Chains A and B, each alone.
Chain A
């Protein structure tokens, strides 16, 4: 029974929040707002090679950076977590993680496809993850 209820609810939810492609507007995305940037801040993306980003993080940590901050947004959250866990394994015991989650507001532009309409905007929300990777012991760091 409970399962049925759940599925029903889900369907209802889908009906309510179904994204209908509007013929009058085209949705164009803007760049999401960034948290504070810096040398030790890495934004994990779906497009960038996983291995490359992992190596970049390793490099930063071995070169004496005390902490690095990984940011992941939406579909890249999984990658971000994976990367942090990989780092933890690689620096076994010498580095720790601190995970924060949050929500980021994204702005979409609605570009009109017909002459009688003006531009519009909509705000979406996406979940985000911010992982702080910090060294607990400086073993093996070439300083």
Chain B
């Protein structure tokens, strides 16, 4: 019946059924089917998302670049990556992509969020080391080694700096009220007031020392420049130009006075004050407008020639009509011809210091791109005509007026500006002869600019006459880079913040004095920087300041110094001031040259005197050097050396280091043991903390003790003061410094009959003799 199909000798008999029961068949394989459907519905979990994609949707390096995945899968993909521990690292986009204009702008805007950029930022960023300072990104020093070149430019050629970071504050109101507003924050002893006759007609720029309200001589804020705007109204406008380190302080103080927040005053004056504050609020408007103007500082004798070449004055009204902003200006007030004539007359001058000091000239000039030379040339005043003395003596009053101060006009000018690419298109399209530029092009608007002369040194017995003289150019916003490039093409050398510092040093000016908040902040910054640098060195390469008898090499403890020189015991010094009374300073200088005792002054205990120090023979001065009181016979002894101090911390340091080493070894052994014991639980190495460890801190304390209690008698000679700025002065051809000494110390020096002092650098034991001059 049933046929045998297989060889019975091998497998035996197998009977195959004639029919299959499907149900039975399925049930016997149900386990397999279940597994299959399961695996179809929930694919295996070991696979990543991008691995599950169908073939046609797969792309190269999908796992690295999530943008190659469909968008709906990206989130899950990133989650998976995070779980697997691989941080999703995006590749930096290629340079070509980054340089696309749109992307570049986006990036620039992002970077400007934290620190404000000046208009010439990109120009500078390509050529300068940039630093963050006072909320701005400021060019510090040029990348090429140009320190001496910049000095030379400032003394013989032209140095240009962008100081647009100065904040301008606009004050509008009647003169007498503005005067009373400033009466509490300035002092007549320091110089001319804000409403002095010399300044109020708007021909000259003035400068004034500001103090906190009613706290003179304490609470110094800073020196600010101001310009009155010419107008016939009773309401006058005043522009203050404030350094950004002081801008916030000045604006808050002005606002406080406006709102009458001074509760410290005596009650009797309360009513009067209230009236006054009401007056203030009604009649005075204060606007703080950072970044509305560009301000370029040109220093050096050649700066005049550069301006004369690059600023082409508009002669008459006809040529001005194409500019849109002239529609809202009274054209007769512009006095174009007078300005043109005056500018032509004085453009023969050899140097800006031949012109009236701090004069303000408002010019209306043609677009600076039109007068730009095709390659960099050096502008020189080569005219053989000698300038008439008459025009140096008198300046017409109409010259100072400028429409630039008007906000509306300025906005229109910025709006109507033709940008560089349009300008190039325009020029290439319209020029008939290649290379020739049509200077009176009506398509380009005329621009009002304001020039302010800086007289530089005017006293021949202090500094070379005319050093540091130059022009400040104020330009409406938007036109910064255009003017800048023209000045550069005429041979100006660009400088940065370092040049500002070195110029102040060469001029013998106090740059950010220590009694102001800005100065203290600067001191703190320098301290942190130097300390950091010091501790980055290996211990064997560090200067041991304890052995040299210097307890604070990177910061000057003014308060301690004053306390030590104070005759009254246990006085608290919260505040101190630098003497700025002009008459007293002149008297002091007289006393020093005659070796007389100083006149008595008020709050002498808290008083510092700024001094300029020139080294007498040999030696090199550095920042933070000590100014010491000489003793008998020191002036002839040029081998005077500070005896070696012994360092008691040295032993402690060694012990501590040894202890630390053993401790570390112990810890290491422990770690290794742990590793061997439990291979699974390996502790991940923790991220390095920014904060130094306890051990490092205590070691630093042993190198540079922080709690300094006394400074006056720490060395063999008594310390009178410190130098805050010191270097080799190219102008003096010797090492010079700017420092501060206490009034009492100066008095003691003169009482002993000396007018020379000893100076010792922080890194040396040698005392050097130096002369002393009061900075006025």
Q: Name A's B-contacting residues (CB within 8 A).
A: 28-37, 47, 105, 107, 109, 111-119, 121, 123
Which residues of the other chain, B, contact A114 by a CB distance below 8 angstroms? Answer: 192
Which residues of the other chain, A, contact B459 by a CB distance below 8 angstroms? Answer: 28-29
Complex alpha-carbon distance, A82 and B481, angstroms: 51
Q: Which of B347-361 contact A (CB under 8 A)?
A: 350-351, 353-357
The 5 closest A-B pairs by CB, nearest first: A28-B458, A31-B466, A115-B196, A31-B353, A121-B393
A–B complex contacts, Cβ < 8 Å, 12 sampled: A30-B357, A31-B350, A31-B353, A32-B354, A107-B354, A114-B192, A115-B196, A118-B197, A118-B201, A119-B198, A121-B356, A121-B392
If over half of A's interface residues share one DSSP class (helix, strand or loop), that class is named, otherwise mixed; here it is loop
Which residues of the other chain, A, contact B464 by a CB distance below 8 angstroms? Answer: 47
B448 to chain A, nearest CB (A): 25
Q: Which one, A29, A33, A34, A118, contacts B460 given CB within 8 A?
A: A29
CB-based contact A30/B353 at 8 Å? yes
Which residues of the other chain, A, contact B196 by a CB distance below 8 angstroms? Answer: 112, 115-116
CB-based contact A117/B198 at 8 Å? yes
- B381-389, B430-438, B608-616: which lies at the interface: B381-389
Complex alpha-carbon distance, A113 and B585, angstroms: 14
With A29-B460, A112-B198 known, 8 other A-B pairs at CB within 8 A are A30-B355, A31-B469, A33-B386, A36-B384, A109-B356, A112-B192, A115-B195, A121-B356
Complex alpha-carbon distance, A32 and B464, angstroms: 12
Q: Name B's A-contacting residues (CB within 8 A).
A: 188, 192-193, 195-198, 201, 204, 350-351, 353-357, 384, 386-387, 389, 392-394, 455, 458-460, 464-466, 469, 582
CB-based contact B197/A112 at 8 Å? yes
Complex alpha-carbon distance, A13 and B354, angstroms: 31
CB-based contact B192/A28 at 8 Å? no
CB-based contact A29/B384 at 8 Å? no
Which residues of the other chain, B, contact A117 by a CB distance below 8 angstroms? Answer: 197-198
Q: Which residue of B lies closest to A47 (CB)?
A: B464
Which residues of the other chain, B, contact A107 by a CB distance below 8 angstroms? Answer: 354, 389, 392-393
Complex alpha-carbon distance, A11 and B7, angstroms: 159
CB-based contact B357/A28 at 8 Å? yes
Which residues of the other chain, A, contact B193 by a CB distance below 8 angstroms? Answer: 115
CB-based contact B195/A31 at 8 Å? no
CB-based contact B389/A116 at 8 Å? no
Complex alpha-carbon distance, A34 and B196, angstroms: 33
CB-based contact A33/B197 at 8 Å? no
Which residues of the other chain, B, contact A111 by a CB distance below 8 angstroms? Answer: 198, 357
Q: Which one, A28, A31, A118, contacts B198 given CB within 8 A?
A: A118
Which residues of the other chain, A, contact B466 by a CB distance below 8 angstroms? Answer: 30-31
Q: Which of A29, A31, A36, A111 has the most CB of B within 10 A?
A: A31
Complex alpha-carbon distance, A37 and B356, angstroms: 22
Which residues of the other chain, B, contact A113 by a CB distance below 8 angstroms? Answer: 192, 582
Which residues of the other chain, B, contact A29 by a CB distance below 8 angstroms? Answer: 458-460, 465
CB-based contact A31/B351 at 8 Å? yes
Which residues of the other chain, A, contact B350 by a CB distance below 8 angstroms? Answer: 31, 33-34, 37
A54 to chain B, nearest CB (A): 17
Q: Which residue of A lies closest to B353 (CB)?
A: A31
Complex alpha-carbon distance, A3 and B394, angstroms: 44
Q: Which one, A30, A37, A116, A119, contacts B354 given CB within 8 A?
A: A30
CB-based contact A31/B192 at 8 Å? no
Q: Which residue of B lies closest to A38 (CB)?
A: B382
Complex alpha-carbon distance, A109 and B357, angstroms: 8
Q: Which residue of B lies closest to A36 (CB)?
A: B384
CB-based contact B356/A119 at 8 Å? yes
Which residues of the other chain, B, contact A109 by a CB distance below 8 angstroms? Answer: 356-357, 455, 458
Complex alpha-carbon distance, A107 and B384, angstroms: 20
CB-based contact B393/A123 at 8 Å? yes
CB-based contact B197/A115 at 8 Å? yes
Q: Which residue of A lies closest to B456 (CB)?
A: A31
Known A-B contacts A29-B460, A30-B465, A31-B466; A115 and B192 likewise in contact (beta carbons under 8 Å): yes
Complex alpha-carbon distance, A107 and B392, angstroms: 8
Complex alpha-carbon distance, A36 and B386, angstroms: 8
CB-based contact A116/B197 at 8 Å? yes
Which residues of the other chain, A, contact B469 by a CB distance below 8 angstroms? Answer: 31
Which residues of the other chain, B, contact A119 by a CB distance below 8 angstroms? Answer: 198, 204, 356-357
Complex alpha-carbon distance, A93 and B562, angstroms: 67
CB-based contact A105/B389 at 8 Å? yes
A17 to chain B, nearest CB (A): 21
Complex alpha-carbon distance, A117 and B204, angstroms: 13
Which residues of the other chain, A, contact B195 by a CB distance below 8 angstroms? Answer: 115
A128 to chain B, nearest CB (A): 13
Which residues of the other chain, A, contact B355 by a CB distance below 8 angstroms? Answer: 30
Complex alpha-carbon distance, A37 and B386, angstroms: 11
A50 to chain B, nearest CB (A): 14
B392 to chain A, nearest CB (A): 5
Which residues of the other chain, A, contact B384 by a CB distance below 8 angstroms? Answer: 36
B304 to chain A, nearest CB (A): 11
Complex alpha-carbon distance, A105 and B455, angstroms: 19
Complex alpha-carbon distance, A62 and B392, angstroms: 40
Q: Which residue of B lies closest to A35 (CB)?
A: B386
Which residues of the other chain, A, contact B357 by a CB distance below 8 angstroms? Answer: 28, 30, 109, 111, 119
Which residues of the other chain, A, contact B192 by a CB distance below 8 angstroms? Answer: 112-115
Which residues of the other chain, A, contact B188 by a CB distance below 8 angstroms? Answer: 115
A96 to chain B, nearest CB (A): 25
Complex alpha-carbon distance, A107 and B204, angstroms: 18
B101 to chain A, nearest CB (A): 47
Which residues of the other chain, B, contact A33 by a CB distance below 8 angstroms? Answer: 350, 354, 386-387, 389
CB-based contact B393/A28 at 8 Å? no
Complex alpha-carbon distance, A114 and B195, angstroms: 11
Which residues of the other chain, A, contact B351 by a CB distance below 8 angstroms? Answer: 31
Complex alpha-carbon distance, A115 and B469, angstroms: 25
Complex alpha-carbon distance, A47 and B353, angstroms: 19
Complex alpha-carbon distance, A115 and B199, angstroms: 9
CB-based contact A31/B393 at 8 Å? no
Complex alpha-carbon distance, A30 and B582, angstroms: 21
